[in-house]
Each structure stands twice: as structure tokens, then as C-alpha cells.
Amino acid sequence: MNDEHQNEPTPKPKRRIPKGSLTMLGTLPTMTKDEPPRGFKGFLWQFWHQLSRCLITGVMVWVPLIVTLWVTWLVIRRVGFGTENLIKNLMLALSDLGERFSPLAFFTYISYTPGFGFLFILALFLTTGLVARYLLARKVIRFGEAIVERIPLINTVYRAVQQIRDVFVRRDGTIFQKVCLIEYPRPGCHVVAFVTSTEQGIVQHALDTKLVALFVPTTPNPTSGFLLYVPPEAITPLDITVEDAMKLIVSGGAYLPDETS
């Protein structure tokens, strides 16, 4: 037992912190910025400080302009003048080739005109921009439409809007001649309808009666509806445009169009 107690390590004495040490640590001096000198030195220091700030501001204003002008001049010199010299040398080579070989004599009629290279570069950039703007834009639109048409529920609304656009926006006004009101489905109830035809066809001849063809759209999807044949005296004309009538139908009566007259 005595041997075991002798082999145990003796604990180290705890270090005592003298009183007042925490107070001394809490009262360490804080670092403060150097105050500017006073008097004439202070004036010089303030003057140099403001001057350096104005200098940096001026540099920041002029550097982008200088870099832009330098890059523009570099592009004009390398691309514009480079293309100009290339076309000039090409025309001179073709003219020399026409002088040497009689079958190619028509090349001698080609003459170089200064500035043709710049016009060629301008036409090239303009053509490239038109192709990229319209052809690529159409591909992007088609790609987006293909994605939308694969989304459930959204594709139904999107197709309905497309049908409205194709039927009512792209038409030149020959289908819907005017807007009117009729009593439907029973007397006392009125619906908005569109006059589609006043010609007397097979339906009118079969009934031996003068009738007007009307399209009664449904709400809120006006691409579906009913085709009705009614007497002209049963129609009450509305003095609004077809577009305003469509807004009235789609909104369920919330949109209140004004009279055109």
C-alpha cells in the first residue's frame, strides 16, 4: 500500500491570481486613432488629405473613359483598318491575276474604293445581329413554350390563352362584325354575343326565315360557346369594341367598358 501511494504523482499546486489582477486587466488602455496635428501642420495635413481624395476621384472618373477610347481605337485599327487592307490587297491581287491570264480578264474591272472594308464590317455585324436577335429569339421562345406546355394545369391555361390570341387577336375583324345582347337562355336573361354573319344561307333557307348568326362565348374561357341563329329584331346592339367585349366576358362582368361614341 505504501508503494502504491509513493508511485502516485503529486498534484501541482494551484496558481493563485492576486487580488486586483482582474481589475487591472479590465483597465487596459484602448487603441485610438492618431489625432491630426494642430496648427500649421494640421492645415497641411488636411490640405494633403483633401487633395489626395480629389486626385483619386479624378482618376476614377477618367480611367474608364480612357480605357474605353483605347479599346475602341484598338478595335478600329486592328479590325477596321486590318479588313480594309485585306480587301485592298485582295482586289489588287485579283486585278493582277486578270492581267496575267486572259480568261480572267474580267478581274481587271474590279477597282478598290476606300472605305469598302469598313462598310463590309458594318454590314457583317448588322447581319449577324439580325440573325442572332430574331432567329435565336424565336428558338428561345419555342423552347420556353415547349417547357410550359409540359407543366400540368399551367399548360391548359396557356393553351386557352393561345387560342384566344389566335382567334381574336390575329383576326382582321371579319368574323366578329359587332357586339350585341340577346335574351338567352330564357326571357329576362341577357348575354353578350357577337354577330358573325348576316348572310342568308342554308339554315335561313331551310326555315324560310331571316336569321342572324351569333356566337355566344362562355366565361371565363371565351374560346368555347354556342352558335345561335336569331331574328334581327331580337338583337340589341352594344356600342363597344370587340376587345372590350372580350374583356367583359373574361372578367365575368367585373370589367366595365365605356361606350365608343
pLDDT of residue 27: 45
Write the DSSP symbol of residue 174.
S
Domain range for residue 67? 49-148
pLDDT of residue 66: 83
On whether both 133 and 61 belong to a single domain, the answer is yes
Residue 104 resides in a domain? yes
On whether both 139 and 58 belong to a single domain, the answer is yes
Residue-wise burial string across 34-72, b where 16 or more C-beta atoms lie within 10 A, e elsewhere: eeeeeeeeeeeeeeeeeeeeeeeeeeeeeeeeeeeeeee
Residue 208 resides in a domain? yes
Distance, in Å, from the CA atom of 227 to the CA atom of 218, rounded to the nearest integer, reads 11
Residue 237 resides in a domain? yes
pLDDT of residue 173: 47
Show which of 133, 148, 163 is a domain's final residue: 148
Residue 159 resides in a domain? no
C-alpha cell at 142: 419555342
Average pLDDT over residues 159-168: 64
Strands 225-230 and 190-197: unpaired
Average pLDDT over residues 13-29: 48
Residue 102 resides in a domain? yes
Residue 142 resides in a domain? yes
To 5 degrees, how large is the angle CA 255–CA 260–CA 261?
Answer: 140
DSSP H helices in 8-115:
21-26, 40-75, 81-100
pLDDT of residue 30: 47
pLDDT of residue 220: 82
Distance, in Å, from the CA atom of 69 to the CA atom of 67, rounded to the nearest integer, reads 6
Residue 30 resides in a domain? no
pLDDT of residue 61: 78
Residue 82 resides in a domain? yes
pLDDT of residue 231: 94
173: left (phi over 0), alpha (psi -120 to 50) or beta: left
Confirm if 59 and 51 have CB atoms less than 8 A apart.
no
Select the more confidently predicted residue: 22 or 74: 74
Q: Domain with 186 in it: what CATH number?
A: 2.30.30
Confirm if 91 and 110 have CB atoms less than 8 A apart.
yes
